[in-house]
């Protein structure tokens, strides 16, 4: 009952002491509710179409905080929750309670400027209190960076130092080099890549390269980059001779971009000159013969490209 107007709702008892009531989105839709965050008002439409406005009067109370795990638990049981916060932007002493936070950690703000300040405040307090993210969060970040390695040059190699920290029996020590790599990854992930859409029927050109750290390749068409790819060497691959590593880089190119290259003309460039004559060589090991069978499925020409000129693929490896 609000100002002598009745608003029906099916209520469910939940163990949230900090909330008076949590209204579902369906209820808000039925009553044509309009929430104005700037003015901190809520408009409700009565059955006679009269509009009742509710204004916030308690802006100084602490925001309610619940764990996202507990919230998810009740959402899975069928509860539809709508959380609404209003805060006083004129708080003189900045503290973490001044920012509405739902852990894991979600920060809500009214605009970008305020959000940047809230974010800086929360992270600084967490740092001061020596509260750190779970190790799995670090792994998730590297997984995210790995997903975008086909769009950005050198992501795999930049993150190699941090990936080593995930290995078994390796002590986690965050060095200045790790911080530099972390900053580089963040910068690359927020910048827009300059790539083109491939066109069927036009010749593709690939540049591949290998090192004792990893493999790298670039897919191009008409002199413009379509995609990048790179990965670190697996432990057993570090024992390969350089010829096999260079050939492995070409195989990586064909496998990753099979949907582009299969049935299309392709010019493959490598900085290992002997690969130019791979198709006619007789003295091949078992691994090379297996890869040669894969190469025969494609309409390609392998050519030599000096390492100094093969700048992009060399950087990826």
List own/partner pairs for 189-197 with CB under 8 A and 24 or more apart: 189/144, 189/145, 189/148, 189/152, 193/151, 193/152, 194/225, 195/151, 195/225, 195/226, 195/227, 196/221, 196/224, 196/225, 196/226, 197/226
For residue 265, the model assigns a pLDDT of 93
Helix (H, G, I), strand (E, B) or coil at 162: helix
Q: pLDDT per residue over 83-116, tens digit each?
A: 444 445 455 555 555 544 445 667 777 888 888 8
Residue boundaries of the structural domains of the chain: 25-128, 135-190, 204-316
Q: Is the pLDDT of residue 1 over 50?
A: yes
For residue 72, the model assigns a pLDDT of 66
**% of residues, the chain, pLDDT over 90:** 19
**% of residues, the chain, pLDDT over 70:** 65
Q: Which residues contact 47 (CB under 8 A, 6 or more apart)?
A: 5
For residue 174, the model assigns a pLDDT of 81
How many residues are given for the chain? 317
The class (CATH top level) of 204-316 is alpha beta
Higher pLDDT: 97 or 269? It is: 269
Quote the CA–CA distance of 243 and 6 in Å, as a whole number: 80
| Mean pLDDT value across residues 130-154 | 69
Confidence band (pLDDT; 50, 70, 90) for 178? confident
DSSP string, 58-77: --SSPPP--BHHHHHHHHHT
| Mean pLDDT value across residues 60-77 | 57
Inter-residue contact 186 to 249 (CB < 8 Å): no
Highest mean pLDDT (candidates 68-77, 132-141, 225-234, 261-270) = 261-270
For residue 168, the model assigns a pLDDT of 78
User: Which of these, 222, 207, 295, 285, lies nearest to 258 by C-alpha position?
Assistant: 295
Q: Which of 13-22, 32-41, 68-77 is predicted with the least confidence, judged by mean pLDDT? A: 13-22
With tokens 């608003």, the residue in question is 7
Element (H, E) at 188: helix 176-190
For residue 245, the model assigns a pLDDT of 93
Confidence band (pLDDT; 50, 70, 90) for 291? very high
Q: pLDDT per residue over 191-228, tens digit each?
A: 666 678 899 899 999 998 888 888 888 899 988 888 88
Which one-letter DSSP state was computed for residue 39? T
Q: What is the pTM of this model?
A: 0.45
Q: Is the dihedral of CA 271, 272, 274, 280 positive or negative?
A: negative
Quote the CA–CA distance of 138 and 4 in Å, as a whole number: 54
Measured at the CA of 159, the angle between CA 153 and CA 162, to 5 degrees, comes to 175
Q: Is the pLDDT of residue 54 over 60?
A: yes
Higher pLDDT: 298 or 60? It is: 298
Inter-residue contact 265 to 299 (CB < 8 Å): yes
């Amino acid at each position: 009952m609000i100002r002598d107007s009745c608003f029906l709702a099916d209520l469910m008892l939940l163990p949230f002491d900090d909330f008076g009531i949590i209204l579902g989105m369906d209820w808000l839709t039925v009553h044509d509710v309009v929430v104005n965050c700037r003015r901190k008002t809520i408009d409700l439409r009565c059955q006679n179409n009269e509009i009742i406005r509710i204004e916030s009067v308690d802006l100084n109370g602490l925001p309610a905080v619940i764990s996202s795990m507990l919230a998810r638990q009740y959402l899975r049981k069928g509860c539809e929750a709508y959380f609404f916060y209003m805060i006083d932007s004129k708080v003189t002493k900045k503290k973490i309670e001044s920012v509405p936070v739902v852990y894991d950690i979600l920060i809500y703000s009214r605009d970008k400027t305020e959000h940047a300040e809230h974010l800086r405040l929360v992270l600084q307090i967490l740092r001061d209190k020596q509260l750190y993210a779970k190790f799995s969060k670090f792994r998730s970040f590297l997984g995210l960076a790995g997903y975008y390695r086909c769009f950005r040059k050198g992501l795999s190699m930049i993150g190699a130092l941090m990936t080593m920290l995930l290995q078994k029996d390796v002590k986690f020590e965050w060095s200045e080099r790790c911080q530099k790599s972390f900053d580089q990854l963040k910068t690359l992930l927020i910048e827009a890549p300059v790539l083109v859409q491939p066109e069927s029927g036009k010749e593709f050109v690939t540049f591949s390269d290998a090192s004792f750290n990893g493999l790298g390749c670039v897919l191009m068409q008409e002199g413009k980059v379509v995609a990048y790819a790179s990965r670190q060497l697996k432990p057993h691959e570090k024992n390969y001779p350089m010829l096999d590593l260079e050939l492995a880089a070409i195989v990586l190119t064909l496998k990753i971009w099979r949907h582009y290259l299969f049935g299309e003309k392709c010019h493959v460039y490598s900085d290992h000159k002997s690969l130019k004559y791979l198709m006619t060589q007789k003295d091949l090991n078992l691994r090379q013969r297996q890869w040669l069978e894969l190469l025969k499925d494609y309409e390609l020409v392998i050519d030599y490209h000096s390492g100094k000129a093969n700048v992009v693929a060399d950087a990826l490896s």
